[in-house]
Structure 1
Amino acid sequence: MGIRLSHVNVIVHLFLFSVLVSKGSSLFESKTAVHIRNDIEGDSAVFLNFHCQSGDDDLGYRGLKFGEEWHWKFRVRLGSTYFWCDYQWYDNLNHRWYEGSHEVYDAKSDFPLVPHYFNLCHTDCVWSARRDGIYLLRHPEGTWERRYTWPGVF
Protein backbone atom coordinates (compact mmCIF):
# COMPACT_ATOMS: atom_id res chain seq x y z
CA MET A 1 0.00 0.00 0.00
CA GLY A 2 2.87 2.37 0.83
CA ILE A 3 4.33 1.97 -2.65
CA ARG A 4 1.04 2.83 -4.33
CA LEU A 5 0.64 5.96 -2.22
CA SER A 6 4.15 7.09 -3.12
CA HIS A 7 3.33 6.56 -6.80
CA VAL A 8 0.22 8.69 -6.41
CA ASN A 9 2.29 11.31 -4.60
CA VAL A 10 4.83 11.37 -7.46
CA ILE A 11 2.07 11.62 -10.06
CA VAL A 12 0.43 14.52 -8.20
CA HIS A 13 3.75 16.36 -7.93
CA LEU A 14 4.51 15.76 -11.61
CA PHE A 15 1.08 17.07 -12.54
CA LEU A 16 1.52 20.22 -10.47
CA PHE A 17 5.01 20.75 -11.88
CA SER A 18 3.74 20.37 -15.46
CA VAL A 19 0.99 22.92 -14.82
CA LEU A 20 3.53 25.41 -13.46
CA VAL A 21 5.90 24.85 -16.37
CA SER A 22 3.17 25.04 -19.02
CA LYS A 23 1.79 28.23 -17.50
CA GLY A 24 5.29 29.68 -17.52
CA SER A 25 6.11 32.68 -15.43
CA SER A 26 2.54 34.02 -15.73
CA LEU A 27 1.56 32.39 -12.45
CA PHE A 28 4.18 34.50 -10.74
CA GLU A 29 3.35 37.78 -12.46
CA SER A 30 1.68 40.23 -10.16
CA LYS A 31 -1.62 40.91 -11.94
CA THR A 32 -3.84 40.23 -14.93
CA ALA A 33 -5.46 43.13 -16.81
CA VAL A 34 -8.84 43.35 -18.54
CA HIS A 35 -9.48 46.21 -20.97
CA ILE A 36 -12.89 47.33 -22.25
CA ARG A 37 -12.88 49.48 -25.41
CA ASN A 38 -15.74 51.33 -27.06
CA ASP A 39 -15.28 50.93 -30.81
CA ILE A 40 -18.98 51.30 -31.68
CA GLU A 41 -19.31 53.71 -34.58
CA GLY A 42 -22.45 55.72 -35.27
CA ASP A 43 -23.83 59.04 -36.58
CA SER A 44 -22.49 60.69 -33.48
CA ALA A 45 -20.38 59.34 -30.66
CA VAL A 46 -22.02 56.20 -29.28
CA PHE A 47 -21.81 55.95 -25.50
CA LEU A 48 -21.21 52.46 -24.05
CA ASN A 49 -22.59 51.84 -20.56
CA PHE A 50 -21.25 48.82 -18.69
CA HIS A 51 -21.03 47.19 -15.30
CA CYS A 52 -18.28 44.66 -14.54
CA GLN A 53 -18.04 42.41 -11.51
CA SER A 54 -16.93 39.11 -10.04
CA GLY A 55 -18.27 37.07 -7.16
CA ASP A 56 -16.05 39.13 -4.84
CA ASP A 57 -15.65 42.52 -6.54
CA ASP A 58 -18.18 44.95 -7.97
CA LEU A 59 -16.33 47.43 -10.19
CA GLY A 60 -19.30 49.76 -10.49
CA TYR A 61 -21.23 51.27 -13.39
CA ARG A 62 -19.13 53.02 -16.00
CA GLY A 63 -19.40 54.59 -19.41
CA LEU A 64 -17.10 55.12 -22.35
CA LYS A 65 -17.30 57.48 -25.29
CA PHE A 66 -16.36 56.18 -28.73
CA GLY A 67 -12.62 55.47 -28.84
CA GLU A 68 -12.16 55.37 -25.06
CA GLU A 69 -10.85 52.44 -23.02
CA TRP A 70 -11.03 51.47 -19.35
CA HIS A 71 -9.12 48.68 -17.61
CA TRP A 72 -8.55 47.09 -14.23
CA LYS A 73 -6.01 44.66 -12.81
CA PHE A 74 -6.40 41.78 -10.40
CA ARG A 75 -4.56 38.81 -8.98
CA VAL A 76 -5.73 35.47 -10.34
CA ARG A 77 -6.78 32.66 -8.07
CA LEU A 78 -6.18 29.71 -10.35
CA GLY A 79 -9.44 28.02 -11.22
CA SER A 80 -11.76 30.45 -9.44
CA THR A 81 -11.27 34.02 -10.71
CA TYR A 82 -14.24 34.98 -12.89
CA PHE A 83 -15.31 38.44 -14.14
CA TRP A 84 -18.24 39.34 -16.36
CA CYS A 85 -19.68 42.59 -17.72
CA ASP A 86 -23.18 43.77 -18.62
CA TYR A 87 -23.34 46.24 -21.52
CA GLN A 88 -25.89 48.69 -22.86
CA TRP A 89 -25.71 51.16 -25.74
CA TYR A 90 -28.09 53.14 -27.92
CA ASP A 91 -27.83 52.61 -31.68
CA ASN A 92 -28.29 56.12 -33.03
CA LEU A 93 -28.47 54.83 -36.62
CA ASN A 94 -31.36 52.39 -36.02
CA HIS A 95 -32.79 54.15 -32.96
CA ARG A 96 -32.84 51.19 -30.59
CA TRP A 97 -31.12 49.95 -27.43
CA TYR A 98 -28.82 46.94 -27.29
CA GLU A 99 -27.86 45.02 -24.18
CA GLY A 100 -25.61 42.06 -23.56
CA SER A 101 -23.67 40.24 -20.90
CA HIS A 102 -20.60 38.02 -21.13
CA GLU A 103 -17.55 36.78 -19.27
CA VAL A 104 -14.41 38.86 -19.69
CA TYR A 105 -12.09 36.62 -17.68
CA ASP A 106 -12.41 33.05 -16.46
CA ALA A 107 -9.39 31.44 -14.80
CA LYS A 108 -10.84 28.03 -15.64
CA SER A 109 -10.82 28.94 -19.34
CA ASP A 110 -7.23 30.16 -19.15
CA PHE A 111 -6.10 26.88 -17.61
CA PRO A 112 -3.73 24.76 -19.74
CA LEU A 113 -5.79 21.59 -19.40
CA VAL A 114 -8.61 23.16 -21.43
CA PRO A 115 -6.79 23.54 -24.77
CA HIS A 116 -9.72 25.14 -26.64
CA TYR A 117 -9.64 28.14 -24.33
CA PHE A 118 -6.01 28.18 -23.22
CA ASN A 119 -4.29 31.48 -23.75
CA LEU A 120 -7.24 33.35 -25.23
CA CYS A 121 -5.92 36.42 -23.50
CA HIS A 122 -3.48 35.13 -20.89
CA THR A 123 -2.61 38.09 -18.60
CA ASP A 124 -3.87 40.93 -20.84
CA CYS A 125 -7.49 40.59 -22.00
CA VAL A 126 -8.55 43.32 -24.45
CA TRP A 127 -12.26 43.44 -25.37
CA SER A 128 -13.63 45.70 -28.10
CA ALA A 129 -17.36 46.55 -28.24
CA ARG A 130 -18.42 47.08 -31.87
CA ARG A 131 -21.69 47.43 -33.75
CA ASP A 132 -21.90 43.71 -34.56
CA GLY A 133 -20.67 42.32 -31.24
CA ILE A 134 -17.82 42.08 -28.78
CA TYR A 135 -14.35 41.09 -29.95
CA LEU A 136 -11.36 39.66 -28.10
CA LEU A 137 -7.78 40.44 -29.08
CA ARG A 138 -6.12 37.03 -29.53
CA HIS A 139 -2.61 36.54 -28.20
CA PRO A 140 -0.01 36.08 -29.57
CA GLU A 141 -1.53 36.45 -33.06
CA GLY A 142 -2.70 40.02 -32.51
CA THR A 143 -5.97 39.37 -34.36
CA TRP A 144 -9.52 40.24 -33.30
CA GLU A 145 -12.07 37.46 -32.89
CA ARG A 146 -15.79 38.12 -32.47
CA ARG A 147 -16.78 36.19 -29.35
CA TYR A 148 -20.30 37.55 -28.72
CA THR A 149 -23.03 39.20 -30.77
CA TRP A 150 -25.60 41.65 -29.49
CA PRO A 151 -29.03 40.03 -29.14
CA GLY A 152 -30.96 40.78 -32.32
CA VAL A 153 -27.87 41.75 -34.34
CA PHE A 154 -26.65 39.57 -37.19
Structure 2
Amino acid sequence: MGKLLSLLVITLNLFYTNGLVANKDVTPLCFMSSYIIHIKSNVNNLMLHCQSKDDDLGPVTRNAGEEFDIRFCINVWRTTLFYCHFNWQSKHQMFDVFALKKKKVPEYCYARSFGKLDCYWWVKDDGFYVPLSNEHTPNNWVKRYDWE
Protein backbone atom coordinates (compact mmCIF):
# COMPACT_ATOMS: atom_id res chain seq x y z
CA MET A 1 0.00 0.00 0.00
CA GLY A 2 2.86 2.37 0.84
CA LYS A 3 4.47 1.87 -2.57
CA LEU A 4 1.18 2.59 -4.32
CA LEU A 5 0.72 5.80 -2.34
CA SER A 6 4.30 6.86 -3.13
CA LEU A 7 3.73 6.21 -6.83
CA LEU A 8 0.52 8.26 -6.74
CA VAL A 9 2.27 11.20 -5.03
CA ILE A 10 5.14 11.12 -7.55
CA THR A 11 2.75 10.92 -10.51
CA LEU A 12 0.61 13.80 -9.27
CA ASN A 13 3.65 15.94 -8.50
CA LEU A 14 5.01 15.36 -12.01
CA PHE A 15 1.63 16.33 -13.46
CA TYR A 16 1.47 19.57 -11.49
CA THR A 17 5.15 20.40 -12.06
CA ASN A 18 4.81 20.12 -15.83
CA GLY A 19 1.21 21.24 -16.23
CA LEU A 20 1.10 24.56 -14.41
CA VAL A 21 4.41 26.21 -15.12
CA ALA A 22 3.29 27.90 -18.33
CA ASN A 23 0.20 29.45 -16.74
CA LYS A 24 1.80 32.39 -14.97
CA ASP A 25 -1.49 33.66 -13.49
CA VAL A 26 -2.32 30.54 -11.47
CA THR A 27 -0.63 29.56 -8.22
CA PRO A 28 0.24 25.88 -8.59
CA LEU A 29 -0.97 23.21 -6.19
CA CYS A 30 2.19 21.39 -5.17
CA PHE A 31 2.98 18.36 -3.09
CA MET A 32 6.43 19.80 -2.52
CA SER A 33 7.42 23.47 -2.36
CA SER A 34 5.95 25.99 -4.79
CA TYR A 35 7.95 28.92 -6.09
CA ILE A 36 7.41 32.21 -7.86
CA ILE A 37 10.38 33.77 -9.64
CA HIS A 38 9.83 37.54 -9.86
CA ILE A 39 11.89 39.22 -12.60
CA LYS A 40 11.43 42.98 -12.30
CA SER A 41 12.59 45.30 -15.07
CA ASN A 42 14.12 48.70 -14.40
CA VAL A 43 14.65 49.33 -18.14
CA ASN A 44 12.30 49.81 -21.08
CA ASN A 45 11.98 47.24 -23.84
CA LEU A 46 13.63 44.37 -21.95
CA MET A 47 13.25 41.19 -23.99
CA LEU A 48 13.48 37.89 -22.16
CA HIS A 49 12.91 34.26 -23.02
CA CYS A 50 12.74 31.80 -20.12
CA GLN A 51 12.52 28.04 -20.13
CA SER A 52 13.22 24.84 -18.26
CA LYS A 53 14.10 21.40 -19.56
CA ASP A 54 10.41 20.70 -20.12
CA ASP A 55 8.75 24.09 -20.56
CA ASP A 56 9.46 26.95 -22.96
CA LEU A 57 7.63 30.05 -21.70
CA GLY A 58 8.20 31.94 -24.94
CA PRO A 59 9.61 35.42 -25.54
CA VAL A 60 8.16 38.38 -23.62
CA THR A 61 8.93 42.09 -23.39
CA ARG A 62 8.77 44.18 -20.22
CA ASN A 63 9.19 47.90 -19.57
CA ALA A 64 10.53 49.72 -16.52
CA GLY A 65 8.40 48.93 -13.46
CA GLU A 66 6.93 45.78 -15.00
CA GLU A 67 7.52 42.23 -13.81
CA PHE A 68 7.57 38.77 -15.34
CA ASP A 69 6.64 35.95 -12.96
CA ILE A 70 7.26 32.22 -13.29
CA ARG A 71 5.13 30.04 -11.00
CA PHE A 72 6.03 26.39 -10.58
CA CYS A 73 6.44 23.36 -8.34
CA ILE A 74 9.82 21.77 -7.83
CA ASN A 75 10.09 18.23 -9.12
CA VAL A 76 10.40 15.16 -6.90
CA TRP A 77 14.13 14.82 -7.58
CA ARG A 78 14.70 18.49 -6.59
CA THR A 79 16.47 19.16 -9.90
CA THR A 80 14.16 21.90 -11.21
CA LEU A 81 16.04 24.53 -13.21
CA PHE A 82 14.91 27.64 -15.11
CA TYR A 83 17.15 29.80 -17.26
CA CYS A 84 16.50 32.98 -19.22
CA HIS A 85 18.00 34.80 -22.20
CA PHE A 86 17.90 38.59 -21.74
CA ASN A 87 18.28 41.21 -24.48
CA TRP A 88 18.26 44.98 -24.03
CA GLN A 89 19.52 47.50 -26.56
CA SER A 90 22.77 45.94 -27.86
CA LYS A 91 23.39 43.97 -24.65
CA HIS A 92 22.56 40.38 -23.80
CA GLN A 93 22.97 37.81 -21.04
CA MET A 94 21.87 34.27 -20.23
CA PHE A 95 21.90 32.52 -16.84
CA ASP A 96 19.95 30.27 -14.48
CA VAL A 97 17.28 32.28 -12.69
CA PHE A 98 16.47 29.24 -10.52
CA ALA A 99 18.50 26.15 -9.70
CA LEU A 100 18.56 23.98 -6.61
CA LYS A 101 22.32 23.68 -6.04
CA LYS A 102 23.05 20.59 -3.96
CA LYS A 103 19.27 20.46 -3.43
CA LYS A 104 19.35 23.72 -1.43
CA VAL A 105 17.09 26.71 -1.98
CA PRO A 106 18.87 29.62 -3.73
CA GLU A 107 19.90 32.42 -1.36
CA TYR A 108 17.71 34.92 -3.24
CA CYS A 109 14.51 32.97 -2.44
CA TYR A 110 12.50 33.69 0.69
CA ALA A 111 9.60 31.92 2.37
CA ARG A 112 6.24 33.60 1.92
CA SER A 113 4.51 30.91 3.98
CA PHE A 114 5.10 27.22 4.66
CA GLY A 115 6.09 25.51 1.40
CA LYS A 116 5.72 28.71 -0.67
CA LEU A 117 8.79 30.67 -1.68
CA ASP A 118 9.47 33.80 -3.73
CA CYS A 119 12.69 34.37 -5.69
CA TYR A 120 13.69 37.83 -6.91
CA TRP A 121 15.70 39.29 -9.78
CA TRP A 122 15.99 42.99 -10.60
CA VAL A 123 17.19 43.89 -14.11
CA LYS A 124 18.89 47.27 -14.33
CA ASP A 125 20.88 49.08 -17.02
CA ASP A 126 24.18 47.96 -15.46
CA GLY A 127 23.29 44.33 -14.68
CA PHE A 128 21.24 41.78 -12.76
CA TYR A 129 20.63 42.00 -9.02
CA VAL A 130 19.32 39.76 -6.23
CA PRO A 131 18.25 40.83 -2.73
CA LEU A 132 20.44 40.28 0.32
CA SER A 133 17.37 39.62 2.46
CA ASN A 134 13.60 39.57 2.24
CA GLU A 135 13.57 43.36 2.68
CA HIS A 136 13.59 44.83 -0.81
CA THR A 137 14.85 48.31 -0.02
CA PRO A 138 16.95 50.01 -2.73
CA ASN A 139 20.25 49.47 -0.87
CA ASN A 140 19.55 45.80 -0.14
CA TRP A 141 20.41 44.40 -3.60
CA VAL A 142 23.71 42.97 -4.82
CA LYS A 143 24.81 42.60 -8.43
CA ARG A 144 25.03 38.99 -9.58
CA TYR A 145 25.73 39.43 -13.33
CA ASP A 146 26.81 42.16 -15.74
CA TRP A 147 25.44 42.62 -19.24
CA GLU A 148 27.61 41.29 -22.07
Counterparts of 2:78 and 2:31, CA distance in 1: 15
Counterparts of 1:101 and 1:54, CA distance in 2: 13
Equivalences for 1:98-109 in 2 at 5 Å? 98-108=91-101
TM-fit CA distance, 1:109: 5.7
Which residue of 129, 138, 152 maps to 2:132?
Answer: 138
Find the residue that maps to 2:109 and give its secondary structure: coil
TM-fit CA distance, 1:120: 2.7
For residue 107 of structure 2, what is the aligned residue in structure 1?
A: 119
Equivalences for 1:20-31 in 2 at 5 Å? 31=34
- Percent identical among aligned pairs is 33
Counterparts of 2:55 and 2:91, CA distance in 1: 25
Kindly report the root-mean-square deviation, in angstroms, between the aligned alpha carbons of the 2 structures: 2.2
TM-fit CA distance, 1:107: 1.6
Which residue of 42, 47, 50 maps to 1:49?
Answer: 47
State whether residues 108 and 120 of structure 2, in contact with CA within 8 Å, keep that contact through their aligned partners in structure 1.
no
Give the alignment's TM-score, normalised by structure 1.
0.63
State whether residues 84 and 95 of structure 2, in contact with CA within 8 Å, keep that contact through their aligned partners in structure 1.
yes
**Equivalences, count:** 109
Larger radius of gyration: 1
1:38 aligns with 2:41: yes
